[in-house]
Chains A and B, each alone.
Chain A
Amino acid sequence: MIEAITENGERREMTINMGPQHPSTHGVLRLELVLDGEVITRVKPHIGYLHRCFEKYAEKMDDYAKVIPYTDRMDYVSAMNQEHGYVVAIERMLELEVPERVEYIRVIMAELQRIASHLLGIGAFGLDLGAFTPFLYLFTEREKILDIFEKASGARLLYNYMAVAGLMRDVHPEFKEEVSDFVKTFRPKIKELDDLLSYNQIFIKRTANIGVLPDKVALNYAASGPVLRGSGVKWDLRKNDPYSIYDRFEFEIPVGSGEMGTLGDCWDRYIVRVREMEQSLRIIEQAVDGMPDEGDVMAAIPKRIRPKEGELYARTESPRGELGYYIVSDKSASPFRVKARAPSFVHLSMLPAISSGALIADMVAIVGSIDIVLGEVDR
């Protein structure tokens, strides 16, 4: 450990900027670190480098449906979930019935996207800790999911696939087979990931007891998703506040248990994501079995959506946590206000609370374990 001590023997602190261009800030995040040697005494996140005025754009649109492509660009690694959250909110606002087949396809897409997003999150987390190889193994699997998405929607990252009360188009005929194939080939890979990374001694040493987030603090900060579950709180909107057709599926909510160290440390948050992928596979299997082969992919709705005056806050479980849309309508065709409550934004604000006294290397682990996407933080 380096300690800066002046001639009079007093300790001097060094301020250092981690980012906006830094390999492990997952985008353009700037962390202002005050260091005493390598120990971080204060951390101040600066965000906004990726601010693209989502909320202003949404207000300027002359149609509620035209906001959907913009939601894709918020959390660009889980675009399907972002769309899902938005269309669920609008459908609730309009009190619409969505065709059965659409719901099933949406759930399959959302869960595949959740796996894809976790694969990226876990892979990048490993990469932050110096494990390069698992990242590429996981990317191979992610690629297979993106291939399915590409066939269905024509795009690999920003799909614009879900529409209000329906889908932009029907899935391709071999969709079910491809999804079942993926589920079959992917399940053994989770075991492989456990061998390669999860139970690697160095990995455990780097993540256990680091960045401990107690459940009380987590709730007070409104943490959600894997971050909250990593602290041992059994809370998943798919079960606790079901939307879409999630109440029809059987699955568990994996929570952290402090298996390798303290409850709510980086390892717990990591392992929750790994176990969640298994549960997503279970949901996908059930959804593929239950999905009707025939049916409309678009409900009969008026061409231009005009909700009645009113407002609501609708939330869905995105891979990163609670994704909420607060939508206010003033009877006109364009939204009066669309506010996206992004889980990464909330999680990033916890950073100073959980990282004091950490080393620079721990900082990297903590940022990786809360799995932020800057597109969503800055919107």
Chain B
Amino acid sequence: MKTIDEILEILQNSHPDVELALESGATGTPWIRVPANAIREVSKLLRDGLEFRFDTLMCLSGLHYPAEQELGVAYHIHSTSKKHSLALKVRVPEEKPEIPSIETIWKTADWHEREAYDMVGIHFTGHPDLRRILCPDDWEGYPLRKDYVPQEFYHGVTTGEKSVSEQDD
């Protein structure tokens, strides 16, 4: 059982060149901010490191920060043997939303990354099968972005309120 501060300290000692930061909100749990290019390295250490043993990735969520024009991914990992949990976060600019895939480290990431790609539009480099998962393959746009506007027609079928209200007029 290790606290997030201890984990951060060990990580910083072993990877002095990686910029890690502890962040938190006014409520909830804190998280470690990891640069996108280091996520795979850090994840591998967290999984295999003797003092960490984070054997499961509980959740991987895509996020969109419209104010900063950034996309983000939150990783929630957990260790069943050490019984500690940790949140990691990666943020990348909207123009170049590329994050290395951690599918080889935790298999859960396979579908979760596909979902984040589908919903928020983050490209996970190195993912073996990065396709849309919940939406149809030929869907346009990324639904969970804050500025998302649904396409009006999908294969000739109306999709949203916009076209319905137009019919009413």
Of A95, A222, A326, A353, which one neighbours B106 at CB under 8 angstroms?
A222
Query: Which chain B residues lie closer than 8 Å to A308 at the CB level?
Result: 25-27
Of B27, B29, B56, which one neighbours A222 at CB under 8 angstroms?
B56
Total chain B interface residues with beta-carbon distance under 8 A: 34
- Chain A interface (Cβ < 8 Å from any Cβ of B): 47-48, 51, 53, 55-56, 59, 92-95, 217, 219-222, 233, 235, 240, 307-313, 315, 322, 324, 326-329, 337, 339, 341, 345-346, 348-350, 353, 378-379
- Chain B interface (Cβ < 8 Å from any Cβ of A): 24-29, 31, 55-59, 61, 63, 74, 76, 80, 83, 85, 87, 106-108, 110-111, 119, 132-136, 143-144, 146
Known: A55-B144, A311-B29. A219 touches B59 (CB 8 A): no
Give 6 new A-B contacts, CB below 8 A, not counting A222-B107, A349-B108. A59-B144, A233-B80, A312-B27, A341-B58, A341-B76, A350-B107
Of A95, A222, A233, which one neighbours B57 at CB under 8 angstroms?
A222
Nearest B-chain residue to A353, judged by Cβ = B107
Query: Which chain A residues lie closer than 8 Å to B85 at the CB level?
Result: 313
Query: Which chain A residues lie closer than 8 Å to B108 at the CB level?
Result: 220-222, 346, 349
| Separation of A181 and B49 alpha carbons in the complex (Å) | 51
Query: Which chain B residues lie closer than 8 Å to A233 at the CB level?
Result: 80
In the complex, the answer to whether B58 meets A313 with C-beta atoms within 8 Å is yes
| B69 CB to nearest chain A CB (Å) | 16
| Separation of A212 and B143 alpha carbons in the complex (Å) | 37
Nearest B-chain residue to A342, judged by Cβ = B59
Query: Which chain B residues lie closer than 8 Å to A341 at the CB level?
Result: 58-59, 61, 76
In the complex, the answer to whether A313 meets B27 with C-beta atoms within 8 Å is no
Query: Which chain B residues lie closer than 8 Å to A348 at the CB level?
Result: 111
| B94 CB to nearest chain A CB (Å) | 16
In the complex, the answer to whether A313 meets B63 with C-beta atoms within 8 Å is no
Which of B26, B28, B119, B136 has the largest number of chain A CB atoms within 10 A?
B28
Query: Which chain B residues lie closer than 8 Å to A311 at the CB level?
Result: 25, 28-29, 31, 74
